[in-house]
Amino acid sequence: MTATIEPDVQSPEGPQPSFDSINPATGDVVGTHPIDDKAQVDAAVAAAREASRWWQELGFDGRKEYLLQWRSVLTRRLQQLADLMHREGGKPHGDAMLEAGLAIDHIAWAAKHAGKILGRQKVGPGLLMSNQAAYVEYHPLGVVGVIGPWNYPVFTPVGSIAYSLAAGNTVVFKPSEYTPGVGRFLVDTFTEVVHGRPVLNLVTGLGETGNHLCTAEVDKIAFTGSSATGKKVMAACAERLTPVVIEAGGKDSLIVDEDADLKDAAEAALWAGMSNAGQTCIGTERVYVHERVFDPFMAELLKQAEGIRPGYDDGGVYGPSTMPKQLPIIRSHIEDAIAKGGKAVLGGLDSVGDQYVQPTIITHVPEDSLAVTEETFGPTLVVNPVRDMEEAVELTNATKYGLAGAFFGKKNAMSVASRVRSGMTSINSVISFAAIPGLPFGGVGDSGFGRIHGPDGLREFTYSKAITRQRMKAPLMLQSLKRDGTTESRFQQLLTVMHGGSATLPKLPKRR
């Protein structure tokens, strides 16, 4: 069956143009949503600005109560939310529940930790300013615009929404045009909890609505989506000098060392590569395996891959590709890899159908192939042997992306993990960092910048404010036009005591 499953834009006959969200498995309309124009986006931002005062005055404790109520409402309605995610995005119900469950845990963490992390903290003033008390506190920015993707329509935007709200901002959220119903569910449940106050607001539409949000009077944009759109978002935000967080695509690798548990590594590679139809920013797309264990690893991987299949029924371990326009890209990556000499050991040229992509594994793929250099976003794995861990790190890092990754093995674990140029690495498991709310989440290079989650994710939606309070008159009055030569020479003596000790230069290695 070939279903028209791109969001369906209606002709503007009624008072406002609208679009349908479509079930990618059945082609059924899941919901109809307005395409908000500039005036509507501006109105949502103005409403959020209006609610900002009330939300800020609640303080950390007051906001915590509302956020914890929201996570309880979401937990009680988890089945309903997961069902909507299943219908709108096509992912299995169990995957949807897992995703929403992790987002709920993040809401609770942000709510409970914001006060401690962002509240006023004392800072040591140092010897030169020992007459001062010094403090730092983190203030909310005001209104944050959150632009979300469809592949994790709850987990991803909640990483920005919950942390922004806990820090004291109000939010205008523009969900993906593929999952607007899920976005509406999040906003409606929160609005119910705050008795209708416009603290978390929804705007819906296509890319143009997202652009209106970027140029509106917001104080920050938190964008999650492709690197290409991220660049457009940044350019649009530059007009008003609006700061941005960019959470973009990836090309993560999973590295298997010679002392790895091969069964565990194969199970992890399959799940991180195939689940959610490979549409995971932090999913595995490349696997580098120590040449000494390449053959047994491949045997294990293919054994475990036996019988896995996509589908919308209970037996499907992943769903259809949510975005039909991705299908030719996945096909072109498979074709290019095989044309350049890669060996398809599972699936191949005919893996890509009208809706579903069959699990595909290709080995010995040249490093200049599209399947190695570009984000594929399909249930495909490239598996290549490497001489040693040096080569694994070198190849992993030879990408414009730098989002996450995994390592399986023992003795080289910490050293390899910290040498991989990416924002997150898990050792002997995959994607675990995303489920630990205290850890920062984000990438480098084309994967973006800025962080959500953890203390860094809370501070991302604030500005730091430094305050000093003079406790007593300074023994050395430096900030005065009446400063004399005696003060200056005492300052110099003090500086010599503090910093003038004999310093030995570090020895350089001998030249050979």
Active-site annotation, residues:
247, 281
CA distance 29 to 501: 74
CA distance 399 to 421: 9
Residues 423 and 92: beta-carbon distance below 8 Å: no
Where does 306-360 have alpha helices with state H?
327-339
CA 50 and chain centroid, separation: 29
Residues 321 and 327: beta-carbon distance below 8 Å: yes
Residue type, 343: K
Nearer to ligand NAD, 70 or 152 (CB): 152
Nearer to ligand NAD, 257 or 285 (CB): 285
CA-wise closest residue to 280 among 179, 404, 157, 377: 377
Nearer to ligand NAD, 173 or 297 (CB): 173
What are the CA-CA distances from residue 512 to residues 386, 415, 505 (Å)?
30, 27, 20
Where does 198-350 have alpha helices with state H?
207-215, 227-238, 262-274, 294-305, 327-339
CB of 322 to ligand NAD, least distance (A): 8
CB of 297 to ligand NAD, least distance (A): 26
CB of 285 to ligand NAD, least distance (A): 10
Partnered with residue 392 across adjacent β-strands are none
CA-wise closest residue to 127 among 502, 486, 491: 491
In the bound state, the residue with its beta carbon closest to ligand NAD is 210
Residues 445 and 148: beta-carbon distance below 8 Å: no
CB of 360 to ligand NAD, least distance (A): 18
**Which residues, including other chains, have CB under 8 Å from residue 509's CB and lie 6 or more apart?**
none
Q: What is the DSSP string of 390-425?
A: HHHHHHHHSSS----EEEE-STTHHHHHHHS-SS--
Nearer to ligand NAD, 147 or 194 (CB): 147
Nearer to ligand NAD, 228 or 398 (CB): 228
CB of 407 to ligand NAD, least distance (A): 20
Nearer to ligand NAD, 222 or 361 (CB): 222
What residue ranges bind ligand NAD (CB under 6 A)?
Answer: 147-152, 156, 174, 176-177, 206-207, 210-211, 214, 224-226, 229, 232-233, 236, 247-250, 281, 323, 375, 403, 443, 448
CB of 279 to ligand NAD, least distance (A): 7
